[in-house]
Amino acid sequence: MIIKRLIVHNFGVYAGTNIFEFSGKKPIVLIGGLNGRGKTTFLEAILLSLYGANSFAYKESTYKTYGQYLKSYVNKNDGSLLTFTELTFLMGEEGSDEYVVRREWDGNFQRIKESILVKKNGTEDEFLTENWSMFIEGILPSALSNFFFFDGEKIAELAVENTSAQLKESIRSMLGINVLERTKKDLYRTIRRNEKLISSQADVESVSALRERKETAEAALVKIDGQIALLDQSLETLKQNLERLMEDYHKKGGDIAGQQKNLLEKKGMLNASLEQNSEQLIAAAAEELPLALVRDLIDTIYAKGTEEREAKILEQTVGRINNMFLDYQRHSAVQQETYEFIQYINDQIADKSVPSVYNVTEHTLLITNELLKTRLDEDIQKAKELLDQRQSLQEKKDEIESYLNLDINEEELRSIYQKIKAAEQKIITEEVKKNTLLAQRTTINGEVIKTTSEFNRAVEQMLDEMETTDDVERVLKYSQMAIRVLDEYIIRLQADKIGILAETITDCYQKLANKKHLILNIEMNTETLDLKYIDYSGVEVPRSSLSAGEKQLMVIAILWALAKCSKKKLPVIIDTPLSRLDSIHRKALIESYFPYASDQTIILSTDSEIDAQDYELMKDNVGDEFILMYDDDSKSTTIHRGYFSEAKP
């Protein structure tokens, strides 16, 4: 994937339409800006365009709903509250296919509804539009996106922790371990269906007691799931009621009541435009436009005038020939054939003489020709455009007048608005109850897992003592055997793939590390996924002995290795890449990571992170440069080419 263009309209700190156009052939794209100028907003626009509600930026935000998240990015400078992001990127072999994904929403409404449009190679693709989430998950699963799009500040935070739970889960997802876990769950369901049919002389009392504990825990889980389901139904009913109240509020002019001043201003502007349009039509009618009504007559006049002009020229020419012939007679003898030729010319002129009706001049013919061939058509086209414009302006004016003429009952609107607020508060209360139940469910589910594990072990022990002649007993026995095999296979598979990942992390770290002889090898525990650092003597290097910069480089090495092992050819976007790094580690990233992280590496940086000295180190690998300039008056950011001192308006 290569990103070619990002358009943001009224998005965050970007007012109006702003375009990032990437055309450079070198791997690094450098986007500079001081804090608060829109660097992180750029990253979130990319994530939002690709993933929408699945974006990890939204999931990690404090917003309770996706609609609130979208509304937080609406820039209100132009008053339209219409916002969109549009991302263009190339995929396929050598970038053979171009995809455009556009997400748009209107901040005018209480509940934000997003629309999405996807184009492939310039044509709107209905299937991709409807199934974009599935498509992008196939290209770059959202669970893996933070390997490619990440924030330097978060890297600095991860550097002070052990391998995070989120990172471990992403690793398991990348390795495909989750597929095997689902298979184990299917086998457990098979065991539960068949264990009731067991008939054995083994010690069933212990198994029965364990089954009772397991079933009690499962019943509690079913009960709380039922309570959650009822809350879900209640929430759905409340949300439907809220939607009906919102529709009623809109129908009764709730939006218009607060926009009357704005609508009156728009009506005044439309009246001015209509008046200007009328003046332009009158001016056109005062010139040659009315001649279009008699175009056939003008064609006839031009044709006849041309014929008359040619006949007159011919007549003048023959007259001069006759005069020259008379002069010639006075000085020379003329043969009979010459007399006959001169007479022949005069006879031809007499036969082809044309009566002069219009008697037009050469200049008049030129003007008439220009009128017929260009000017008249241009005037007609201009008049059509003015008439179309007038119709469009009138329709907009009529629409605004229809809004202004609505009979708005403010007391009734106030009552509906209070009901809306009450409904929203009720939804919040129910969601709090649901979150409480979900927390309780986690505890109960843990008990289910624990009792199920104990029960399964007891069943395995019992099955070891059973004769396996009965079909049901064989199903139970081999299901348990399959689970044990899967457990072993998961460990071996994880060990095999973790080994490759650990080698890749080691290789990446060695490329970045300043102390090349500090760590020889990096190992990863096949079960816990915790890292262990081994020096050249085979002794483990305590993590606490690494400097803050070395820890950050280690996290970046892990992300780099994960991106490599995922086999995905995707751009890398790094926000605040050199956060809290000293000059030595900064140089390591600039020279050894940025040019090789991906075919396209987009770096979002302040002037203190990548300063003039750092810029000189990396400029040979920089294809595109942008600077984000903030205007205090408009409180918005604009995009310029260049990087800080190199910036061009």
pLDDT for position 104: 93
Burial class (CB in 10 A: 0-12, 13-18, 19+), 559: buried
pLDDT for position 562: 77
Most confident of 27-31, 94-98, 364-368, 540-544: 27-31
Are 642 and 605 contacting, i.e. CB atoms less than 8 angstroms apart?
no
pLDDT > 70? residue 158: no
Q: What is the mean pLDDT of the chain?
A: 80
Which has the minimum average pLDDT: 22-31, 473-482, 502-511? 473-482
Average pLDDT of span 192-220: 70
Domains defined along the chain, listed by start: 1-148+573-589+599-649 (3.40.50.300), 163-200+476-567 (3.40.50), 260-408 (1.10.287)
What pLDDT, in 10s, does the model give residues 362-387? 788 888 888 888 888 888 899 899 99
Which has the minimum average pLDDT: 10-19, 402-411, 419-428, 529-538? 402-411
pLDDT > 90? residue 100: yes
pLDDT for position 533: 83
> Which tokens is 622 given?
């920089």
pLDDT for position 354: 63
Which has the minimum average pLDDT: 121-135, 423-437, 547-561, 609-623? 547-561
DSSP 86-118: EEEEEESGGG-EEEEEEEEEETTSSS---EEEE
pLDDT > 70? residue 313: yes
pLDDT > 70? residue 152: no
Which has the minimum average pLDDT: 47-51, 462-466, 522-526? 462-466
Are 602 and 2 contacting, i.e. CB atoms less than 8 angstroms apart?
no
> 3-class SS at 35?
coil
| Predicted confidence band of residue 160 (pLDDT cuts 50, 70, 90) | very low
pLDDT for position 9: 93
Biggest alpha carbon–alpha carbon distance for the chain: 154
| Predicted confidence band of residue 409 (pLDDT cuts 50, 70, 90) | low
Q: CA separation (Å) from 131 to 112, 116, 117, 204, 368?
A: 21, 10, 11, 52, 61
Nearest Cα residue to 48 out of 131, 149, 119, 121: 149
pLDDT for position 465: 55
pLDDT for position 403: 63
Most confident of 116-120, 157-161, 315-319, 330-334: 116-120
pLDDT for position 200: 47
* DSSP strand pairing (28-32 vs 82-91): unpaired
pLDDT for position 356: 67
Which has the minimum average pLDDT: 150-154, 227-231, 322-326, 535-539? 150-154
Average pLDDT of span 416-425: 86
pLDDT > 60? residue 466: no
pLDDT for position 93: 66
Percent of the chain with pLDDT over 70: 83
| Predicted confidence band of residue 594 (pLDDT cuts 50, 70, 90) | confident
Higher pLDDT, residue 269 or 545: 269
Nearest Cα residue to 422 out of 547, 296, 610, 245: 245
Average pLDDT of span 512-525: 77
Dihedral sign from CA coordinates of 541, 542, 547, 549: positive
pLDDT > 50? residue 468: no
H or E stretch including 181?
Answer: helix 177-194
pLDDT for position 259: 62
Note the helical H segments in 405-470: 410-464
Beta bridge pairs of residue 150:
574
Average pLDDT of span 303-310: 78
Average pLDDT of span 416-433: 88
Average pLDDT of span 334-359: 70
Are 292 and 379 contacting, i.e. CB atoms less than 8 angstroms apart?
yes
Are 284 and 383 contacting, i.e. CB atoms less than 8 angstroms apart?
yes
Are 45 and 11 contacting, i.e. CB atoms less than 8 angstroms apart?
yes
